[in-house]
Copies of this chain bind each other. A is one copy, B any other.
Amino acid sequence: MGRKKIELKTIECRKEKSSKFSKRKKGFLKKAEELAVLCNTDIVLLVFSPTSKPILFYSHSRPLSRILEKLSSMSEDEREERLIFRVFFYYYIKLYFIYIINMKLQEDDKLTELREARELLDRKTSILRKWQEPERVDDLAQLTIMDDHLVFNLSMFKKVFRS
């Protein structure tokens, strides 16, 4: 797929690895998007980059709210799938908060924001804690509130992290 055929083994050169990663990641996410659209499927993708920042993907043309909508209309037999999504996304949100805090820590003049971020994390963690026992959450109204939180939080994170 290029000037030369390359051997399928880990690239040792750091710079080359990073450049290959960003190139191939782009193509890979495009493929994910195409697969999701063409075949009307839900895809969730977690990639840890060489620089270890986790990348979460879900198809843009099938936004999270629509996935959640689909999940909420699932039969009882499929409920387990719903649980996967919810727990997965909630953990991811928590991860993102931790990244915010780590970023803030590197800026001495941002202590107020750091404090705010910590408070936010504490609040969100308490929501998460309830979700660590999702089988106990059986009130549909409560589920809806949780989903709203989820959608809101993700949109907020998108603002913070552009890509």
Counted per complex, copies of this chain come to 2
Enumerate A114-163 residues with CB–CB distance to B below 8 Å: 129, 132-135
Contact (A80, B95) CB under 8 Å given A10-B40, A31-B24, A88-B87: yes
B21 touches A35 (CB 8 A): yes
Residue picked from A6, A35, A52, most chain B C-beta under 10 Å: A35
Nearest B-chain residue to A46, judged by Cβ: B44
- B contact residues around A132 at 8 Å (CB): 87, 132-135
Residues of A within 8 A of B (CB): 6, 8-11, 17, 20-21, 24-25, 27-28, 31-32, 34-35, 37-50, 52, 54, 77-78, 80-81, 83-84, 87-88, 91-92, 94-95, 98, 102, 129, 132-135
